[in-house]
Amino acid sequence: MSITALNQTDTDPIRDLATEKGSYTMVKTTVGEYLSRLGLYDSSRKEGTWDASLVSVPFQRAAIPIQKNAIKQRMFRDLLRGGTLPPTVLYFRGDENRDVVIDGLQRTHVLTEAVKALSRREQGEKATDFAEDEISEMKKLNQEPLSVDNLLNRPVIFQRWQDLAPEEVVRLFIVLNAGQQKVSPRHLLEVMVDDLRKMFESWGIPLLTERQEKEQPARRTRKQAAPPPLGLDGEPEITPATAGITHFRYEYLIDGLHGYVGRDPHVKTNKVIQESGDSARLPLEERITEIGSEVCRADFTWACKELNDAIKQKYGNTPKWRLTIQNSDNFFIPLMAALGEARTSPGTKGALEDRKSKLLEIIRDSSDEDPLSLVGDNNSQSLTYVLNSIRSNIGRKQRSVVFIAFKRYFRAGTEDISYPIDWREALIE
């Protein structure tokens, strides 16, 4: 009996109207054809091999060892005696011409291990100790494992998606998985490795990954005898030599996304990465599905493109502030956290788009060279003056000032056209 005995059958494509072009089909096939499609089964060798890089999108968890998970143990034994798995979800990557698993990594892993165990036994080899123990327990209950051919010909049903935008792939994964287990900040970073990079780029936000950043030639000025002065972040201040930065650092955007979803202005990626996977949880996990949403896109493109461009244009002669959106953690992350906060406030979110537009109008149309009151050591209303007055816990306090100031603006709008963002009141609060 060959594994092609059950022909693959697909439903007609079903258009998903919540996506721009996405659609899916329901596919009925066999275990053998399913694993072959994913590159996990070689019919010529009648052998299953596990390789997560062939299976899952970059944000899937690693396969959990079967012997360490009671659910997977039961799943494994059921498959050996002809049980059926719930449908999995695949996504067809057109640019790579292959299917990847969006939901069902652990189920697919168990399928592969079951084929591998039965294949080894039929070839006169010993399966893993775990598999042998499971088969022994089955026989005590008068249950016999299937032959390899019978297992390979068992039916499998999966949902196959295609033509999704990067943010839609991410959103689909989160919707399918958020209700099953907690999503930690560490895991969220894993989610963003590939598809969120594509998402940011599809939004027109140019970025550099850590690897690309390291590959960039070092910027040098003609005179480097003295170190450059420190800027808002405690990092070297932006100088004319570095003012030509055109991309956002990928880690920087991820920090901004964490701040936006968690409404937390104090996010720091290096601390998030150090947190253990299951013990560290993203604040306000119920908002996790906002990643990749239309409002998330609107807020990030406004901040990273429109507001960034307006400030770069207006503050072109002030290196310290010209790239404050693009190169200052202590400004960008609290700004995004304030935007995220505004999206949850019933009294604010209805007027938010108008207030975002008004701020751009103030910057672009003002005859004042400093419409946001960022500059000025002697101006008590300026952000420079306010930040210079902070003497303790500098990083957190600076972020709190920016966060509170933008939160107040998004909540109330412009109270004084001369000082649209009230930095001084934010310091007092």
Rounded CA Rg of the chain: 27
Instruction: DSSP letter for 219, please.
Output: P
Instruction: Give the lowest-confidence range in 56-65, 67-76, 164-173.
Output: 56-65
- Helix or strand holding residue 160 (H, E): strand 155-162
Q: Which residues contact 283 (CB under 8 A, 6 or more apart)?
A: 262, 263, 264
Which long-range contacts does 240-244 make (Cβ < 8 Å, 24+ apart)? 240/319, 243/319, 243/322, 243/323
Residue 91 contacts residue 162 (beta carbons within 8 Å): yes
User: For 164-177, what is the mean pLDDT?
Assistant: 82
Residue 139 contacts residue 209 (beta carbons within 8 Å): no
> In this model, does residue 211 exceed pLDDT 70?
no
Question: Which range, 31-45, 259-273, 347-361, is most confident?
Answer: 347-361
Q: 3-class SS at 63?
A: coil
Q: 3-class SS at 24?
A: strand
Q: Percentage of residues in the chain with pLDDT exceeding 70?
A: 75
pLDDT recorded at residue 230: 43
CA-nearest of 368, 363, 379 to 325 is: 363
pTM for the model stands at 0.64
Q: How many CA atoms lie within 13 A of 157 on its CB side?
A: 7
User: For 6-18, what is the mean pLDDT?
Assistant: 83
Tell the burial category of 70 from Cβ atoms under 10 Å away from its Cβ (0-12, 13-18, 19+): exposed
Give the residue, 416 or 81, on which the prediction is more confident: 81
